[in-house]
Structure 1
Amino acid sequence: MMPGAQPGSGRQGAPANAALAAALKESGCSYASLAHRVNELGRRQGHESNYDKASVTRWLQGGQPRGNTPELIAAVLSHRLGRPLAPAELGFIADRQRPVVARALAYREDVAETLHTLAELGSTDISRRSLLGAVPFVAGALVTPQREWLLWLVENQDTPRLSSAADGGRVEQVHAAISMFDEMDNRFGGGQVRASIVLYLSTEVVPMLQQRGAPPHERRQLFTAAAKLAAMAGWSSYDNAEYGLAQRYMTQALRLCAEGGDRVLGGQILAGLSHLSTNLGQPEAGVELARVGVATAKHAGSPLGLMRLHAMAARGHAALDQPREASKSLRAAEAQLEASRGAEQESPWVRFLDHHYLAAEAALCFRDLGNAAEAENSAAESVRANADRRRRQAISRSVLATAYLQQNRLDEAIGTAGEALDTLSGVHSERSIQALRDFRSRLRPRRGEPMVRDFEHRSRAVLGSAA
């Protein structure tokens, strides 16, 4: 055992919060004793908590306790040591003094802090866009939300599954707004609608949840609806190439979803984070997030939701050039699609999913694996099926063009890419633009051919200059 290590702690090496570790060692206070005394002091001050040894371990690993808990920890250790200690001397940061872009990466134990963070993030997003537009995607910050979500999942296995259908009143109003935003997003792209989603979420829905007095069932439904809106804010930010913002909104969405208890929606939020990770060059994280999503939704009665999660795992495996694993995940997705009894029997959060969606995702997998014939078949099916969804049309046409190019069918590749370019008219979707840029980059070895030069010239107004 290392010097200073506590029996049964299971930790090796220096803790992330060395200041707290030093104070614990000096005081002789065990993990269990500290947790018990913090709970006891909190109850005397009107704050109920159930901290235990695992909670102290999380604090030592760098976790920030909720609410006024840092003050309670400081009070307990001050009493044991016989001298005053401030939370900052124990490695704790006053949460609301941290920049919102940092706080929004955290999955907070205290949902009140989550609501405060979302309100501030939305306000800053709307009024001071230049501060947030370039915030980075932080792959390492995905680890803690995954762990905390899995802990919630284990601890709430027996929680009753609530219907996600609106029961009227405020819940029905929020669901109506969600439907409207969803329709606009599908038709015009996320860039056109994201500001409206953020404004409604932060100025209308978050204040509803900060009020007290709603019946528990209604409150949980409102949390679920707010989680859906936060996820939509993340997805539309992603569609607008604001990847760091997308990660932050989706992380907060996951925390709200735990409060609502909707496992289907939780799986879909994890699917969005998986998609984001894989497309930003972190396919290992994409696969892990999809696996957590499958664990979340496997007993939630949603084959379509599981279909999407298996498709996301396939995307990650394809990006990692793992054809066997990608094929296995695609077969699992197809099996779930066949198991579904139709969209009307599914949660409203997944009714947009169908075999055409799977065809589009499979086409991307086959493209990345270099299986041009299969990519062509799947992308062509997606193009035929999604005439009213211009973003999906543009992406699938770009993938189809790449499949033609991989088969050395240049005329068809350029013609299909030109159709994708036409489809982008009136669609504010950076994802669609990036898909077509990917195709254009594959034309570099053939830049000497006239039709390639013509396409590059024509595409500049939408795609910018070729590198």
Structure 2
Amino acid sequence: MLSAAASLAYLAGWKAYDAGEHGLAQRYYLQAFSLARHSGNQADQAYVLRILAHHAMDNGRPEHVLGLADTALSLSRGVDPATQSLFVICRARALAESVRFAAARHEAERARDLAAHGEVGEMTGWASLWGAPSATVDSHTAKIYARVGDHPAAEAHHADARKRYGPTAHQRIAALSAAAEGHAQLQQGKIEAACMTWKKALDTMTGIRSSRTRKSVQSMRSDLDQFRSHGARPALEFDERARTWLREAV
């Protein structure tokens, strides 16, 4: 009963996060952790701590994320390799936020190896909800490379994540991966490629109502400001489509 209640609180937190209600999301996540702790399920406790770490990193609050990631990894001991990869890549990203880039890369490679040799069907508890662990590992590895300014590597990993998530089973995260991939392309001056990738992102976002996807499209338009002002045709054409998408997504 406690595990089921923890799972429901976690889901409520995720929905609040997707709606942009980050304070509410954190409160639900903390409630989920308390329930998981009382249930005695260490894997669920670890997973909530992992989510709290990622939530803090996504919101620019990296102060305690390495401690959260380390504790999550410790609590996850004994889970299958595929599930373990999610905790290892969380620690890798936390290390990058702590400016320990060499250690972050090493942990990211360890996570990739665990994901590659793990079986999705063996994944533990809530970890099984988010698709192939290799997609999650690629997504967070891309964020590590973006953090160090290696935009070609970030682009490659975001592209791999997008392909592995697929446009249907995990439509929202596939779309957000495409959005991040386009941003990495733009950082390299690849304007046409970025606009093409962002068009794919908009296609994948069809039917989704999410604060995160809306902010992502607004960010695309903002990133293209300087190119629109110089009359770059790909930027002008994409901006028109993005404005239409935002108008219809209200």
TM-score range, shorter chain: 0.7 to 0.9
Deviation at 1:401, TM superposition (A): 0.7
> 1:454 is aligned with what amino acid?
E
**Cα offset, 1:349, TM superposition:** 2.0
User: Residue 305 of structure 1 aligns with which residue?
Assistant: 83
| Pick aligned residue for 2:101 from 299, 323, 342 | 323
Q: Does 1:413 align with 2:199?
A: no
Distance of 1:415 and 1:461 partners within structure 2? 16
- Considering fraction of residues, name the structure with more helix: 2
Percent of paired sites with the same residue: 27
Q: Deviation per CA, 1:320-348: give whole Å up to 9, x if none.
A: 554223212212322432453x1333323
Task: Determine if the alignment matches structure 1 residue 255 to structure 2 residue 34.
Answer: yes
Tell me which of the two structures has the higher relative contact order, counting C-alpha pairs closer than 8 angstroms and 6 or more residues apart.
Answer: 2
Asked whether the equivalents of residues 394 and 421 of structure 1 are also in contact (C-alpha less than 8 Å), the reply is yes
The structure-2 alpha-carbon separation of the partners of 1:334 and 1:240, relative to structure 1 and needing over 3 Å to count, comes to same
* Structure 2 equivalent of residue 373 of structure 1: 152
Count of matched residue positions in the alignment of Structure 1 and Structure 2: 241
1:333 corresponds to 2:111: yes
Mapped to 2, the partners of 1:316 and 1:380 lie a distance apart of: 22
Q: Match of 1:457, as an amino acid?
A: E
> Contact between 2:3 and 2:41, CA under 8 Å: does it hold in 1?
yes
Does residue 344 in structure 1 map to residue 121 in structure 2?
Answer: yes
| 1:390-417 Cα distance to aligned partner (Å, 9 max, x none) | 1122111111112221222111111111
Alpha carbons 1:278, 1:285 under 8 Å: kept: no
Q: Is the 8 A contact 2:88 2:107 kept in 1?
A: yes
C-alpha distance in structure 1 between counterparts of 2:86 and 2:107, whole Å: 10
1:354 counterpart residue number: 133
User: What RMSD, in angstroms, separates the aligned Cα atoms of the two structures?
Assistant: 2.2
Deviates more, 1:397-406 or 1:364-373: 364-373
Deviations 1:261-311 (A, max 9, x none): 11111111111111110011112333322112112112x323333311222
Structure 1 range deviating more: 311-320 or 363-372: 311-320
Name the CA distance, whole Å, in 2 between partners of 1:378 and 1:249: 31
> CA offset at residue 379 of structure 1?
1.7
In structure 2, relative to structure 1, the CA distance for the partners of 1:427 and 1:405 (3 Å cut) is same
Larger radius of gyration: 1
Counterpart mapping for 1:261-276 below 5 A = 261-276=40-55
Uncovered stretches (5+) of structure 1, i.e. residues with no partner: 1-221
Distance 1:325 1:308, change over 3 A: same
Q: 1:435 to 1:302 in 2, by over 3 A?
A: farther
Q: Which of the numbers 444, 447, 451 marks the counterpart of 2:234?
A: 451
Residue number among 176, 189, 204 corresponding to 1:423 in the alignment: 204
Residues 286 and 312 of structure 1 are in contact (CA less than 8 Å); yes or no, is this contact kept in structure 2? no
Q: State whether structure 2 residue 167 is matched by structure 1 residue 387.
A: yes
SS in 2 for 1:283: coil
Letter in 2 for 1:230: A
Amino acid in structure 1 at the alignment position of 2:110: A
Residues 246, 397 of structure 1: alpha-carbon distance in 2 compared, 3 angstrom cutoff: same
Q: 8 Å contact 1:367–1:402 — kept in the other structure?
A: no
Secondary structure, aligned partner of 1:284:
coil
Q: Evaluate the alpha carbon distance shift between residue 404 and residue 394 of structure 1 in structure 2; reply closer, same or farther with a 3 A threshold.
A: same
The CA deviation string for residues 203-254 of structure 1, in whole angstroms up to 9 with x for no partner, is xxxxxxxxxxxxxxxxxxx111111111111011101111111000100000
Q: Superposition pairs for residues 22-421 of structure 1, below 5 Å?
A: 222-298=1-77, 300-319=78-97, 321-338=99-116, 340=118, 342-351=119-128, 352-385=131-164, 386-388=166-168, 389-421=170-202
Q: In 1, are the aligned partners of 2:6 and 2:36 still within 8 Å (CA)?
A: yes
TM score, norm. by length of structure 2: 0.86
Structure 2 alignment gaps of length 5 or more: none
Once the two structures are TM-superposed, the CA of residue 418 in structure 1 deviates from its matched residue by 1.6
Aligned residue in 2 for 1:152: none
Distance 1:410 1:317 in 2: 31
For residues 223 and 145 of structure 2, the distance between their equivalents in structure 1, rounded to whole angstroms, comes to: 16
SS in 2 for 1:293: helix
TM normalised by structure 1 equals: 0.48
